[in-house]
Amino acid sequence: MIEPARVNVVELTVSELSAALKKTVEETFNHVRLRGEISGYRGPHSSGHVYFALKDDSARIDAIIWKGVFGKMRIRPEEGLEVVVTGRITTYPGRSTYQIVIETLEPAGLGALMALLEERRRKLAAEGLFDEARKQLIPFMPRVIGVVTSPTGAVIRDILHRLADRFPRHVLVWPVRVQGDGAAEEIAAAIRGFNALPESGPVARPDVLIVARGGGSLEDLWCFNEEIVVRAAADSMIPLISAVGHETDITLIDFAADRRAPTPTAAAEMAVPVRADLIAQVAALAARHIACWQRGIDIRRKDLRALGRALPTPDRLFAVRRQTLDNLAERLPRALRANAHVHHQRLARLAGRLSTQVLRTRLSRNAEILAALAERSKRAMRVLLDRRADRVRSATQLLTAFSYRSVLARGFTLVRDAAGTPLHAAAAVSTGMRLDIEFADGHIAAVSDGGRPPEDRPSEETPAPAAPKRREKGTPPKQGSLF
């Protein structure tokens, strides 16, 4: 009875069974809400999808977040974070497993969010993003103030109103969302955008930045805890003031900012001084400066009067010099007369020594000396001229030896073309070419007939080569043609 019953069971393929199970599971668990701890999270896959698992003390289920859903999530998965997710249960036929396709993800209560916040704070602090050495000083009097906040909230109005009361400055507002999906990316882009402005561009680069938002819950302020915002604040080259929430609200951007303000209004107070206080302070400093200068003038006037009383009068100062001058004036005529008498006596002695005989003797001696010098000059001139004549003769002989005319005198000739250029080879002479032949005693004009090779000439016309003459002993050999 049992065997026939088994035979009547419908036969299914593995794919059909998997499809049936998938349909049953999805219809039964179309939308569920699960609580569990994230396990095995390694970040987004290369495709953009996210794969991990949810577990509790005794069970585990695979989870997947599609790429489009993951990009819109406000809270991102973290390893070990306890979360509450919503989604639908489905199966994966390839492995015969079931899994949850997550549509929303949120921490399981405030404690989970605080644990995630503390873990992220420790991570960023370990990287040195919160070090005091990275903090910049806020400028005392900024020319331009950049504000990153929502353009429609009360925060921007509070900041502008406070700046107008204290010290009006030029304000640039970069509108962003301060809550919800994409808010963190917009805030980070605004901070980096202000830093990217050129120093002398058409849009003035701010001297200080204020990142502000009103109060709210931890979930509302969560975008200011995202790593992208914290890193943008830490990398800002413009001094940044964080003014997020109320005084009791703490976000991670507060640690990365150069200054933290308890409220947006307090941030405006930190950014600029009070103009009335500055005017009063400058006036007080000016009054102190004038009073100090006046006291200095009075002290120097008293010192000058005291020094003036200590100085002697002009009569006392020049009395001794005036008496000395009078004594010298009395002695001067006597000294002039004595000096003139001495010079007169010396002139008389010299005049007595001068006579015609003395002058004649001196002239005679000078004439003899002059005649001797003239004779020595004549001899020196003759010697010099002889030397110059010898050098000229030597140069003439050397020039004659190197001249081509000495070669012509030995029986050679110099052949030139019609332009007067010397010809050095027979190949340079063409038929009908006019030639100028120079001998030692003159020139003759000639026309070339082209000539014939030596082998074409009759043997009887070829003169026998003359026997070389023996050179007599002591006779120098003749020099060949230089051309």
Res. 153 pLDDT band, cuts 50 70 90: confident
User: Is 187:243 a contact under the CB 8 Å cutoff?
Assistant: no
Instruction: Give the separation between CA 191 and CA 176, rounded to whole angstroms.
Output: 11
pTM of the complete model? 0.47
Q: Would you place residue 292 in the very low, low, confident or very high pLDDT band (cuts 50, 70, 90)? A: very high
Q: Which amino acid is at 260?
A: R
3-class SS of residue 158: helix
Q: pLDDT value at position 40?
A: 87
pLDDT at residue 2 is higher than 60: no
| CB crowding 327-345: b at 16 or more within 10 Å, else e | eeeeeeeeeeeeeeeeeee
Residue 108 has pLDDT above 80, yes or no: no
Closest CA to 66 of 53, 49, 87: 49
Query: Which residues, 6 or more positions from 94, have their beta carbon under 8 angstroms from its beta carbon?
Result: none
Is residue 354's pLDDT more than 90?
no
Q: What values do phi and psi take at 102, rounded to 5? A: -80, 135
Contact 91, 97 (CB under 8 A): yes
- Distance from C-alpha of 430 to C-alpha of 418, rounded to nearest angstrom: 12
Tell me the C-alpha distance between 84 and 37, whole Å. Answer: 9
Check residue 201 and give its pLDDT: 84
Q: What is the 3-state composition of the chain as percent helix, strand, coil, each rounded to the nearest 5?
A: 50, 15, 35
Q: Between these two residues, 279 and 18, which has the higher pLDDT value?
A: 279
Query: Rounded mean pLDDT of 362-391?
Result: 90
DSSP class of 205:
P
Q: Is 287 helix (H, G, I), strand (E, B) or coil?
A: helix
Query: In angstroms, rounded to a whole number, what is the distance separating the alpha carbons of residues 417 and 447?
Result: 10
Integer Cα distance of 263 and 218 in angstroms: 16
d(CA 212, CA 310): 72
Give the H or E element holding residue 286.
Answer: helix 275-310
Q: What is the pLDDT of residue 284?
A: 94
Look up the CATH number of domain 7-108. 2.40.50.140
Give the pLDDT band (50/70/90) at residue 480.
Answer: very low
Percentage of the residues of the chain whose pLDDT score is greater than 70: 90
Which tokens go with 196?
């990217």
φ and ψ of 430, to 5 deg: -110, 165
Letter string b/e over residues 405-418, b meaning 16 or more CB atoms within 10 A of that residue's CB: eebbeeebebbbbe
Q: Give ∠ CA 196-198-200 in degrees, rounded to 5.
A: 160
- Confidence band for 180, pLDDT divided at 50, 70 and 90: confident
Residue-wise pLDDT tens digits, 194-225: 999 998 888 989 999 999 998 877 777 888 98
Q: What is the distance between the alpha carbons of residues 268 and 259, in angstroms, rounded to a whole number?
A: 12
| DSSP secondary structure code for residue 422 in this structure | B
Residue 126, amino acid = A
Q: How far apart are CA 224 and CA 179, in angstroms?
A: 9
Q: Which two tokens stand for residue 315?
A: 């009569």
Task: Annotate 227-284 with DSSP letters as a single string.
Answer: HHHHHHHHH-SS-EEEEESSTT---HHHHHSSEE-SSHHHHHHHHS--HHHHHHHHHH
Report the length, in residues, of the chain: 483
What's the topology of domain 142-273?
Rossmann fold (3.40.50)
Distance CA 228, CA 231 (A): 5
Lowest mean pLDDT among 369-373, 379-383, 469-473: 469-473
* Domain chopping of the chain, boundaries: 7-108, 142-273, 405-449
